[in-house]
Amino acid sequence: MAGMALLWGTSKGPASENLDRVTLEQRLTVIRIYLEHEEYTIVPDGPVAGVDVEAGERAVFVQLSRRGCTPTVPFTLVPHGGGWLVRDIDLAAAGNPSRSCRDE
């Protein structure tokens, strides 16, 4: 999870530098569970409707494949230190990780 902590954050920097360790571990655990997958594809021209992106940010859409489901999940990226950090992930778009997509 140390790698995730360096890739997730805000324009102020990585979450590992701005959140206490317990809160950070709890949030990253939830993100990891929701984004668990067998394969993924970055969608080159993903949908934009409903994604709240501020000036200077980017939306990236990732199609996850898991247990027969293929949800497209929006990630919002924010510039930081010459690179990008993941500011937001629409975990609801990933679907409930404990259910098959056929049950939803």
Burial of 20 (0-12, 13-18, 19+ CB in 10 A): exposed
Task: Report pLDDT digits (tens) over 50-98.
Answer: 566 777 888 899 999 988 889 999 999 999 999 999 999 999 999 888 8
Is 46 within 8 Å of 72 (Cβ atoms)? yes
Count of the separate structural domains present in the chain: 1
Task: Report pLDDT digits (tens) over 11-63.
Answer: 899 988 988 999 999 999 999 999 999 999 998 776 555 566 777 888 899 99
Q: Which residue range forms the structural domain that includes residue 79?
A: 2-103
Give the CATH number of the domain where residue 7 resides.
Answer: 3.10.450
- Global confidence as pTM: 0.83
